[in-house]
Chain A
Amino acid sequence: MAERIKDAEDRKLEEMFRSQPIADDGFTVRVVSRVRRQIWVRRLSLPVAIAAGALVGLKPLLQVAGAVPQLIGLIPVDMLKLDALPVGGLPQASTLLIGASIVMAIMMAGRLLEE
């Protein structure tokens, strides 16, 4: 309140509003332990979510990836101009999986570095 001139009433009000300092009584420890818990939860949440997602999604993903060459075989030949479409150049299932794994690994590494 340095910017204003205090009158007697202001001083009286300050006196009325004044209170004893509050003892810490473990308050700081409780706050810091909640902060530490929050740090760990955030640090673990992404890897755990990725691991859980991988566990749930890996089997169907492999099945889909395995079926892709068969599905490509079902496309009527006359719909494809074989001389124009480089069918041989389509990515293999294993290539797709490796690519996805690399992207996930980069995302995880980025997140961990950010932490």
Chain B
Amino acid sequence: MGAPGVGDNELVAQVVAQQDPKAFGELVRRHQSQVRGFLRKLTRDIALADDLAQDAFLHAWDKLHTFSGQGTFIGWLLKVAYTTFLQSKRKSNRYNEILSEINHGGDGHAVHDVHEVSDLDRLLSVLTDEERAIMILSYACGLSHREIGDAANLPVGTVKSIIFRGKEKIRDNFDIEDHQYG
């Protein structure tokens, strides 16, 4: 069973060998906060992020045998979560296009949950989706440039330049030094 003292890689091996949902549950319990946090920042919609997180963990269950154990498990998991987000976004873009065609040129945007716009939301809004994902993976999830490259299928050099560009945009729009965000 998934004892709390057991390492992630041992749990993964147990899940792959025995198709053990309890061991997988332990992995979910350990990493749900980070995966949900990543998706919440990325989507800026709590309900959507939690739905995507559930889907991401189900994809992880299906693809767990492909985890080689080379990098960290959370890095691999965030890659699955990011892929799930991109797939969902593509589907929703197509849905919005169809809706727009039906509505004869209506804006076709899905209605998002109206929630309080935080400072971080404002900060993230100046970034593109890709920049936002890379910045969150770097500054919120603490992944290395190599791990981010693996997660986003980008060369390390590209990751570095996206972070540089993201920082520049944030610097241009916000006074980071005076910021009081905890």
Q: Which residues of A contact B (CB under 8 A)?
A: 1-4, 9-10, 12-19, 21-24, 27-32, 34-36, 38-39
Contact = CB atoms under 8 A, between A and B. Distances in A.
Contacts of A22: 32-33, 36-37, 40
Contacts of B21: 32, 35-36, 39
Interface of B: 19, 21-22, 24-25, 28-29, 32-33, 36-37, 40-41, 50, 53-54, 57-58, 61, 119-120, 123, 135-136, 138-140, 142-146, 167, 170-171, 176-177, 179, 181-182
Contact of B58 (A4, A9, A19, A38): A38
Given A3-B145, A12-B179, A34 B58 contact: yes
B19 A1 contact: no
Nearest to B22: A32
A97 B167 CA distance: 71
Contacts of B28: 27-28, 31-32
The prevalent SS among residues of B at the interface is: helix
Given A16-B176, A32-B21, A39-B21, A27 B53 contact: yes
A29 B146 CA distance: 32
A1 to B, nearest CB: 6
Contact of A31 (B25, B120, B181): B25
Given A1-B144, A13-B135, A16-B139, 13 more contacts: A1-B145, A9-B176, A13-B139, A13-B167, A13-B170, A22-B32, A28-B29, A28-B32, A31-B25, A31-B58, A32-B22, A35-B57, A35-B61
Contacts of B32: 22, 24, 27-28, 31
B50 to A, nearest CB: 7
Contacts of B58: 31, 34-35, 38
Contacts of A3: 144-146
B63 to A, nearest CB: 13
A78 to B, nearest CB: 61
Contacts of B146: 3
Contact of A12 (B120, B145, B177): B177
Nearest to B146: A3
Closest 9 CB pairs of A and B: A17-B139, A17-B140, A32-B25, A22-B33, A16-B181, A28-B29, A21-B33, A28-B28, A31-B57
Given A1-B144, A34-B58, A16 B179 contact: yes
B24 A14 contact: no
Contacts of B181: 15-16
